[in-house]
Structure 1
């Protein structure tokens, strides 16, 4: 069973039991990531909340040799206060990519450090969870020496249009209702910072990058959570 180090980063992040103050956000991603990893049979270790400081982040990343993979949420957007890529390079790691043409999840980072895979996950909860499902899980299965697992899915009819842009692979969270033997799929159009969309959603649709969305009543495939 792979051992995975989990880090939440950002000056605005506070613990779940800390007093919420203006400009602060409770750590949702740490709990989301660790529970998703447990569901897949991995052994997560939460390494805590790390502030936006190059030396502090580099110090905790130096422990990467203790794990099979490390996941850091937050600090993946390109900006002067995002120190993740700087920390990885400071320790001799290699950034393999920073940014993917996906929505949500565009600012994702993937790197190697001390020959271990390191993911920089977006700070927004929905983005973070979708990158876990689409990218981290396949890497986890590889570490376990397994082929990609079958993902349960259904087919149903859309209740509304889903617009999308050419060149971006989009993951749209949906609600599912069954009536008369037919599944009806309702898209949930919310920002990636809104976690309630995951509470309501039963699964998600993948809109390929070469497609400009789907039309109402079109049959689509839904990946179940």
Structure 2
């Protein structure tokens, strides 16, 4: 066990072998979850003009309090036809251009609208006026390179007038599942066979992480079939295999990969589930060998393959994104390995409470399906008590 890598060391070795993919121009509307390869700059001041933050009346602060003549009404997208003179006011909608000569907006709620005049209280200069460029000035960096384009960030760039962005190319991932015992629904099962679930699971997880996935297929425990399928998978940016990475007589993946020129960087991580995970490279292709048990395969994918995909796209932070939560039940720690426990999360006044699901064995994918969180139990002595703060990944 002492020769096994910690999860942190394993991730560090993976990221160190990543070569960022080339960039390409992408329409902003199609850039969700992509990673910026270059800084994105504002093409306009934002706001592009002084605008009203409220429905109300635009006026000069020096004219308040008092009764002012209403000489116009300004709607969003329809600026005033002339400047505002002293002693005048204009009705204005939220987002409307504050007319030249005005410096303040009085909300409707505290004004008395008399139609052709308005009574306003005392105000402060600049109240409820969004100054031009108050959010960002034209030419400034709106988003730095390495940031993932979340919905909020896409909205920010659209507001800045950006229509195209430079992003790293979408990673191409080949998924290969091994095992003579595997069948695909709705094929009838014979004695000793099980339905294959890892391929569809990994494809879903990797697609959600922003990859373009090619299902190489399912191969039996035959060296020739392995060689043909792995050779095809090595043409992708990332090859992910499931099964066949342990030390049994039918575990052929690592042997065949070595014959095909894959340099094995490590095999084995001090964690459960997912201990016999292998990682290697051939050229710029990253090669992950995940265990065959479905929960082990899922955990390995989330902890190591998904961060590698972010690193391939140049993400500024490709590491784990554990969120804090509170244990609803005690969990015993292991002295030499980290455990990753499937749990249900519940939001409450104290934050997120995490309840481990029953059935933590690595083959119990149906039990795992009841979970929405992956809780990390760090290696150490004793147990984590009820109420202990732990990190978790949303599933």
TM-score, normalization by structure 1:
0.92
SS at match of 1:52: coil
Aligned twin of 1:69: 238
What CA deviation, in whole Å up to 9, does each residue of 1:50-80 have, x standing for no partner? 1111121012111244210100101112211
Aligned twin of 2:393: 223
CA–CA distance in 1 between the matches of 2:234 and 2:222?
21
SS at match of 1:35: helix
How far the C-alpha of 1:179 sits from its partner, in A, is: 4.3
Which of 292, 298, 311 pairs up with 1:142?
Answer: 311
Which of 182, 194, 207 pairs up with 2:364?
Answer: 194
What CA deviation, in whole Å up to 9, does each residue of 1:141-178 have, x standing for no partner? 1111213277362422x222111211101111111233
SS at match of 2:261: coil
Mapping of residues 71-220 of structure 1, within 5 Å: 71-147=240-316, 148=318, 151=321, 153-156=323-326, 158-188=327-357, 189-210=359-380, 212-220=382-390
CA–CA distance in 1 between the matches of 2:348 and 2:261?
56
Contact 2:175/2:233, CA 8 A, preserved across alignment: no
How far the C-alpha of 1:180 sits from its partner, in A, is: 4.6
Q: Return the structure number with greater helix share.
A: 1
CA–CA distance in 1 between the matches of 2:199 and 2:188?
17
Distance 1:65 1:75, change over 3 A: closer
What CA deviation, in whole Å up to 9, does each residue of 1:12-42 have, x standing for no partner? 1111221122211111100010011110111
SS at match of 1:222: strand
CA–CA distance in 2 between the matches of 1:119 and 1:85?
10
CA–CA distance in 1 between the matches of 2:366 and 2:296?
13
Higher gyration radius (CA): 2
Distance 1:150 1:169, change over 3 A: closer
> Which moved further from structure 2: 5-14 or 110-119?
110-119
Contact 2:265/2:280, CA 8 A, preserved across alignment: yes
SS at match of 1:63: helix
Which segments of 5 or more consecutive residues in structure 1 lack a partner in the other structure?
none
Distance 1:131 1:97, change over 3 A: same
RMSD of Structure 2 on Structure 1 (CA): 1.8
Contact 2:216/2:233, CA 8 A, preserved across alignment: no
SS at match of 1:58: helix
Structure 1 stretches of 4+ moved >4 Å: 179-182
Instruction: Tell me, yes or no, if structure 1 residue 15 matches structure 2 residue 184.
Output: yes
CA–CA distance in 1 between the matches of 2:319 and 2:260?
34
> Which moved further from structure 2: 13-22 or 165-174?
13-22
> Which moved further from structure 2: 194-203 or 6-15?
194-203
Mapping of residues 12-51 of structure 1, within 5 Å: 12-51=181-220
CA–CA distance in 2 between the matches of 1:131 and 1:197?
18
Contact 1:98/1:107, CA 8 A, preserved across alignment: yes
What CA deviation, in whole Å up to 9, does each residue of 1:123-153 have, x standing for no partner? 1111111111111111111111213277362
Aligned twin of 2:223: 54
TM-score, normalization by structure 2:
0.54
